[in-house]
Structure 1
Amino acid sequence: MSIAQKDFDFLRKFVLEKTAISLGSDKIYLLESRLAPLCREYGLADVSEIVDLLRKSPLGRLSSSVLDAVTTNETYFFRDSKPFLELEKELIPELIARKGSCSTLKIWSAACSSGQEIYSVAMILEDKFPELKSWNVQLYASDVSSAMVDRTKAGVFNQLEVSRGLPSSMLIKHFSRKGESFYVKEHLKRCLEVFALNLASPWPALPKFDVVFLRNVLIYFDPPTKEAILRKVEKVLEPGGSLFLGGSESTLGLRTSLVRKMRTFCPLYVLPS
């Protein structure tokens, strides 16, 4: 299934206006692969029929389905490993020592996709830091896709998803199996709040976070939008708070108060105290 140039141009503009995500001219293959299942689901012959319907009704169910398909990114448990090692081996112990009697910890996965990232964080806190059981631990997860928000809230994964990056000991401890699906147990959900958020739009009132994960998402925005998002991150980070970016992302060339610090396992972007 190929996409005509005029339809590709329309879809690029549509996605940009709705999400601020900038699709390069080389992303036509991405749209082809992401929208082909939608054509089958809606009984449409090709992408041109999707475009015709979007022109007539840009706010309907199809619009949400298109945006969900385009903005959903690959993820898996403990993806890229090094940020999670940094969190477990260095950052959480430092926060525990630094906070002392202020026993509150807030961590946000700001582009959570289907939830593997925030549940990876939850499992680290549960398994490695028993002293946090007496703390007020608050985990947050958000995504622009309403479908991904629903998936994260549900915490249900298939066999392929739990076989990617998730140690078998954690699977046994933190999931229950029903048929071919694996369900996150309630003890990992009790401190988790999940909500829809377009990073490029105005943000609601949010608490101050000790740690923010914003990995593999800034690459989809143009520089002014990246800077605007980082400024908003600065406002919701505690002084001395840390931001994780994706392995191919950095703040190089962007105006931000965040300071890049090379740590034991990966870089962190820290808000000065």
Structure 2
Amino acid sequence: MIKHDDILFVAAEAFKRSGLVLSADKGYLLESRLAPLARAEGYPSIEALITAARRDNTGRLLWAITEALATHETFFFRDNTPFDLFKQDVLPVLARARGNNGAIRIWCAACSSGQEPYSLAMLLEEERARLGNLRVEIVATDMAPRVLEKAKAGVYSQFEVQRGLAVQRLVQHFDQQGEQWRIKSNIRSMVTFQKQNLLESFATLGTFDLILCRNVLIYFDADTKKKVLSRIATQTAQDGYLIMGAAETVVGLSGDFSPVEGRRGLYGRKVAAKSAAA
């Protein structure tokens, strides 16, 4: 069993670094997430890992612990609804607004191992004939270097491609490499991956027409949610959109976005909320 003091220490450090809220009764989560990390780092126990982290002036071990505790659950076309919203509601409105020779910028925040941005890229490739000369840039970020490296490589196991991915898309957009599958270069080239912590300023990322921040804020407290949503709004075009997870909402947390009527999980800035609902 992990000592109570160690649980409190790890929870405080994880919150400071990532906004992740861990209550004192989450010892079981620390056990399951940190045991593999302790082995990988060469420590005989989780307690030894935490002791070393307390003494590590570089902060490397604390960051490794924070990344291990973060939930990186994702899969291709997860929940379907956000991708239907993108294809049927958001993309047509933005395409009309930006014009045939314009550009659309999309940000996938907390992208984990890349399935979400690659799902969008596949949809865009399939819609290419309807987009004309419209340029689309997808920026995908995460705070964890380990999952970003996997995302950049675009290589997935048989289990991973079977989660949410139709056989037709697998054949069309992937090359088989032994027992694994790699996303084709034309899809990989549509996505730029970079490290970004949601607790830090993302002003350098620029302005986006669509931001997907799904199943992330549920792990934050109310104050952190408000701050993140405020910064997201600053990076969203005045006629841009935000897509959140099914269990998330901006209601009571942000006055910068309005729910799009009849479109669960879709929020718009000013004119955007009305345009998508029209």
In the superposition, the TM-score normalised over structure 1's length comes to 0.93
Distance 1:164 1:58 in 2: 41
Q: CA deviation at 1:133?
A: 5.5
Q: CA deviation at 1:214?
A: 0.2
Distance 2:57 2:67 in 1: 14
| Residue 258 of structure 1: aligned partner | 257
Q: CA deviation at 1:62?
A: 2.9
Q: Which secondary structure does the structure 1 equivalent of 2:205 belong to? A: coil
| Residue 13 of structure 1: aligned partner | 12
Q: Verify: 1:117 aligned to 2:116, yes or no.
A: yes
Matches within 5 A, 1:191-270: 191-264=190-263, 266-270=264-268
Q: Verify: 1:271 aligned to 2:269, yes or no.
A: yes
Q: Which secondary structure does the structure 2 equivalent of 1:134 belong to? A: coil
Q: Which runs of 5+ in 2 are unaligned?
A: 272-278
Distance 2:221 2:59 in 1: 27
Once structures 1 and 2 are overlaid, which stretch shifts more, 46-55 or 203-212? Answer: 203-212
Q: Which secondary structure does the structure 1 equivalent of 2:176 belong to? A: strand
Distance 1:46 1:246 in 2: 36
Distance 1:129 1:90 in 2: 16
Distance 1:132 1:89 in 2: 13
| Residue 69 of structure 2: aligned partner | 70
Cα contact 1:72–1:148 (8 A) shared by 2: no
Q: Which secondary structure does the structure 2 equivalent of 1:25 belong to? A: coil
Once structures 1 and 2 are overlaid, which stretch shifts more, 16-25 or 233-242? Answer: 16-25
Q: Which amino acid aligns with 2:24?
A: S
Q: CA deviation at 1:58?
A: 4.8
- For residues 231-273 of structure 1, the C-alpha deviation after alignment (integer angstroms, 9 at most, x for no partner) is 1111111112110111111122214311112334x23111114
Cα contact 2:245–2:265 (8 A) shared by 1: no
Matches within 5 A, 1:94-105: 94-101=93-100, 103-105=102-104
Once structures 1 and 2 are overlaid, which stretch shifts more, 27-36 or 227-236? Answer: 27-36
Cα contact 2:2–2:31 (8 A) shared by 1: yes
| Residue 23 of structure 1: aligned partner | 22
Q: Which secondary structure does the structure 2 equivalent of 1:247 belong to? A: coil
Distance 1:32 1:241 in 2: 41
Q: CA deviation at 1:42?
A: 2.4
Distance 2:15 2:58 in 1: 15
User: Residues 23 and 159 of structure 1: is their aligned pair in 2 closer, same or farther, counting only changes over 3 Å?
Assistant: same
Distance 1:21 1:4 in 2: 20
Q: CA deviation at 1:102?
A: 5.0
Once structures 1 and 2 are overlaid, which stretch shifts more, 62-71 or 145-154? Answer: 62-71
Cα contact 1:157–1:181 (8 A) shared by 2: yes
| Residue 79 of structure 1: aligned partner | 78
Q: Which amino acid aligns with 1:79?
A: R
Distance 2:130 2:205 in 1: 26
Once structures 1 and 2 are overlaid, which stretch shifts more, 110-119 or 36-45? Answer: 36-45
Distance 1:228 1:183 in 2: 37
User: Residues 101 and 129 of structure 1: is their aligned pair in 2 closer, same or farther, counting only changes over 3 Å?
Assistant: closer
Distance 2:142 2:259 in 1: 25
Distance 1:147 1:263 in 2: 38
In the superposition, the TM-score normalised over structure 2's length comes to 0.92
Once structures 1 and 2 are overlaid, which stretch shifts more, 52-61 or 219-228? Answer: 52-61
- For residues 211-234 of structure 1, the C-alpha deviation after alignment (integer angstroms, 9 at most, x for no partner) is 110001011111111111111111
Q: Which amino acid aligns with 2:235?
A: V
User: Residues 247 and 175 of structure 1: is their aligned pair in 2 closer, same or farther, counting only changes over 3 Å?
Assistant: same
Distance 1:247 1:27 in 2: 24
| Residue 183 of structure 1: aligned partner | 182
| Residue 3 of structure 1: aligned partner | 2
| Residue 157 of structure 1: aligned partner | 156
Q: Which amino acid aligns with 1:159?
A: Q
What fraction of aligned residue pairs are identical, expressed as a percent? 35
Question: How many residue pairs get matched?
Answer: 271
Q: CA deviation at 1:129?
A: 3.7
User: Residues 7 and 83 of structure 1: is their aligned pair in 2 closer, same or farther, counting only changes over 3 Å?
Assistant: same
Distance 1:173 1:255 in 2: 40
